[in-house]
């Protein structure tokens, strides 16, 4: 991902950016979170990292959502653990941040094990059937319809479709070998077969759980492939699945912002891609799914079966959300 080249050097970020184990997407995400927090506080990132007794309470005050607090603390830890010079003061700060992270993790796990939606999830909840209904009313070929198509016609992924290259392939994309995949420079791409009666194939190599899940490769349903072809009719030269107005691929952060903006406009609620994943799973009849089917579904959504269970809300709390709408 070329976006890392635009990040200005910062002493606190040197170790993080140079770590060969961290994925580019993780480096970018951590850096953006740290820079945003630094700008809001008006302090260098190094100072923030070295003042956990001041900054952690500030994070809790400024960001009431538990998930946001955990994300910011994780970003601080990612930088602090990789400081070029780890002295005694750094180790003391690291110990305090680790304890803060453990406390937040315990709170998160308690909520997840109770299968309770957060306050933000309750505000943004939209029944998945309503999402499909709205999709069918949108103009064919529009970007908004294409977005909903990719997040309803297949098990919804995370915010991983920001930079997906569109590639022309042989008559049938199904004939693409692993050697063919390895020659593609872009980490995430979509193969469009020359024969438009054949389905497209989506390949993801850069996503949140890629280190554990490996390459994600799926043949798309023909209905979704046709939605894409219809979208491309107005822009035959488009090189990316989703693009900004200048025709460039989104960064992960800007794609998330655009998606949230579209979903807010369409549903009048703070619906997010993550919440769509929750809603998709909560709309299913789990009594009809075998263990094998549940494992396949988890693989399709790039998460574990344990996380899949945590995404589901027990029926009582689920119905409570519906009544509040």
Residue range 121-141: average pLDDT?
Answer: 94
Q: Residue 319 has what pLDDT?
A: 46
pLDDT over 70 for what percent of the chain?
Answer: 88
Cβ contacts of 110-115, under 8 Å, gap ≥ 24: 111/66, 112/310, 113/310, 115/310, 115/312, 115/313, 115/314, 115/317
Domain span at residue 107 reads: 2-113
CATH number at residue 259: 1.10.443
Residue range 162-168: average pLDDT?
Answer: 92
Residue range 237-254: average pLDDT?
Answer: 90
Residue 137, pLDDT above cutoff 60: yes
DSSP state of 287: G
**Which of 113, 143, 172 is the last residue in one of the domains?**
113
Q: Residue 133 has what pLDDT?
A: 97
Do 187 and 312 fall into the same domain?
yes
**Which of 94, 113, 132 is the last residue in one of the domains?**
113
Q: Residue 77 has what pLDDT?
A: 94
Average pLDDT over the chain reads: 86
State the virtual CA torsion across 49, 119, 208, 216 in degrees, nearest 10: 180
User: What confidence tens digit (pLDDT) does each residue in 187-231 have?
Assistant: 899 999 888 889 999 999 988 888 888 889 999 999 999 999 999
Do 279 and 147 fall into the same domain?
yes
Q: Residue 320 has what pLDDT?
A: 43
Compute the residue count for the chain: 325
Do 182 and 206 fall into the same domain?
yes
**Total number of domains in the chain:** 2
* Strands of the 201-204 sheet, one edge to the other: 165-169, 188-193, 201-204, 216-219
Describe the crossing of helices 143-150 and 252-267 by its angle, rounded to 10 degrees: 100
Do 157 and 288 fall into the same domain?
yes
Do 25 and 172 fall into the same domain?
no
Describe the crossing of helices 66-80 and 52-62 by its angle, rounded to 10 degrees: 150
pLDDT bracket for residue 13 (50, 70, 90): confident
Residue range 223-248: average pLDDT?
Answer: 92
Do 161 and 307 fall into the same domain?
yes
Residue 84, pLDDT above cutoff 90: no
């Amino acid at each position: 991902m070329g976006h890392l080249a635009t990040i200005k050097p910062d002493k606190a970020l040197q170790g993080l950016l140079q770590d060969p184990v961290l994925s580019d997407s993780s480096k970018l995400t951590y850096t953006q979170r740290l820079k945003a927090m630094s700008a809001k506080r008006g302090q260098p990132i190094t100072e923030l990292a070295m003042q956990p007794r001041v900054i952690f309470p500030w994070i809790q005050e400024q960001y009431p959502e538990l998930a946001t607090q955990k994300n910011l603390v994780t970003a601080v830890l990612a930088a602090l653990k990789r400081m070029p010079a780890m002295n005694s003061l750094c180790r003391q700060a690291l110990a305090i941040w680790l304890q803060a992270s453990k406390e937040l993790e315990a709170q998160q796990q308690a909520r997840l094990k109770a299968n309770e939606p957060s306050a933000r999830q309750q505000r943004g909840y939209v029944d998945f059937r309503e999402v499909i209904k709205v999709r069918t009313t949108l103009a064919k070929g529009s970007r908004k319809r294409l977005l909903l198509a990719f997040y309803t016609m297949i098990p919804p992924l995370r915010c991983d479709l920001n930079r997906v290259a569109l590639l022309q392939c042989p008559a049938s994309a199904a004939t693409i070998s692993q050697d063919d995949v390895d020659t593609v420079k872009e980490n995430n791409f979509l193969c469009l077969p020359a024969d438009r009666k054949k389905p497209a194939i989506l390949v993801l190599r850069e996503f949140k759980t890629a280190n554990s899940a490996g390459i994600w490769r799926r043949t798309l349903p023909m209905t979704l492939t046709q939605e894409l072809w219809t979208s491309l009719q107005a822009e035959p030269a488009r090189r990316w699945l989703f693009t900004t107005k200048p025709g460039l691929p989104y960064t992960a952060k800007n794609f998330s912002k655009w998606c949230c903006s579209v979903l807010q406009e369409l549903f009048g609620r703070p619906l997010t891609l993550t919440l769509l994943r929750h809603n998709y799973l909560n709309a299913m009849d789990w009594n009809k799914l075998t263990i094998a089917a549940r494992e396949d579904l988890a693989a399709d959504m790039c998460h574990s079966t344990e996380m899949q269970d945590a995404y589901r809300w027990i029926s009582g709390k689920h119905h409570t959300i519906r009544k509040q709408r």
